[in-house]
Chain A
Amino acid sequence: MDAITDVFFDYISVRTFWRVLLFMHFATAVALLTATTLQTVAVLMPVRQAAGNFVGRVRATPAASYVIPIVFLYVPNFLIGCWVYIKYRTYVRIPMEQLGHWWTVGTFEFKEHVMTMGVALLPAYWYFWRQPLTEQFATTRKWLVVFLAFSVWYAFLVGHVANDFRGVGA
């Protein structure tokens, strides 16, 4: 890992490198948040035809169309998160503990577990959303979508709080 980062440090400072990585994590998280939220809306409140307003059009979007973007955003975002986590453990968590921000530490620890569960469910998510969609597995598909959306929302909010403690712009 150090050998990979050392290549970048020849061109940019250590601080800038981690900030760029954290921003990439944030940017993919926002895209993932959008995709999972839109798919959840399309799955939980489906309509057959697009209505005039924005919400109606979102509800009418085929939920299956979000699957590939979600998988291709979830995995890189998880991997970038794994990388940034090194900096969190040494640079952010230690002062958090010293200042007694135990709730932030605890919720961030839980984020690790939530995202791990989400990654573990991705192969099953991909399988059940393959075409043609089997009606008998509609409930399973719905559950997978809701869980992935929950994991992304939880991780985003908790990550944002941790970033506010010590991150980009903090």
Chain B
Amino acid sequence: MTQTLDVHQGVSQLDRAPTMAAATAEISRAGIFAITFGISFMLLYTVFERLNWPFFTYHPAVGKLDFWMQRPRSGEGPPMYWYGWLVLSGMGALGVSTIATLLPRPWLYRTTVFCCLLAALWPALLAAGVFIADQVSFDAEFLRSVWLSGVLAVAGAAAISYFASAQWVQRVWLSWLWIVPIGGLIVLGYSLKSYFLR
């Protein structure tokens, strides 16, 4: 009798136990903000660093601040862009996270998938295009176009995020919290290879 009761208790607990998807759906607005802030900050930081888009440039030797990106000038020492990337990423992430709290959940999950895939596909397709253009014997200069790879990346990311099942985009949503930093650090680490190959 006791065993039967225990089994029934176990089953009823299993019934009550929310699944991962249900738990994700119960995340509060503060949680949506915090998670989206993390994902978007890391994504934007990687993109801005690679494009070298700082909000401002700081010249520490002369204590001077310039808007956007400024090349080193004679007699002013080395420029610092890192603060500018941080500020621009922070402002972008704040905006994105605020918008995310206002979106319906299914839209939020699909938009996150779209943005993360776009950030991965665009440079990957561009790199593939440049590689192919270098290898083939005929004129394939059009493959080096940033815009061609951009259009293809938008189309690919849109198709995947549209056709992916609602359960999958919801389940994968939290995974971006580890996929984005690992991916970002691989990209940023690779960009530093010149320091290690001298």
Contacts and interface: CB of A to CB of B under 8 A. Distances in A.
The contact size tier of chain A is: 35 or more
B104 interface: no
Nearest to A151: B181
Contacts of B35: 124, 127
Interface stretch (A56-64, A110-118, A159-167): A110-118
B162 interface: no
A109 B82 CA distance: 10
Contact of B45 (A86, A110, A116, A143): A116
Interface stretch (A7-15, A18-26, A36-44, A134-142): A134-142
Contacts of B78: 89-90, 93-94
Interface of A: 1-2, 82, 85-86, 89-90, 93-94, 100, 102-103, 105-106, 109-110, 112-114, 116-117, 120-121, 123-124, 126-127, 134-137, 140, 143-144, 147
A110 B41 contact: no
Given A102-B195, A143-B177, A86 B38 contact: no
Interface in B41-60: 41-42, 45, 49, 58, 60
B178 A147 contact: yes
Contacts of A135: 17
A141 B77 CA distance: 43
A89 B72 CA distance: 13
Most B Cβ at <10 Å: residue of A82, A123, A126: A123
Interface string B23-36: 11000001101110
Given A94-B78, A102-B198, A113-B184, A143 B178 contact: yes
B75 interface: no
Contacts of B37: 120, 123-124
Given A120-B93, A121-B38, A136-B20, A144 B83 contact: no
State the 10 A-B residue pairs at the shortest beta-carbon distance, nearest first.
A106-B195, A136-B23, A123-B34, A120-B41, A127-B34, A124-B38, A117-B181, A2-B63, A113-B188, A102-B195
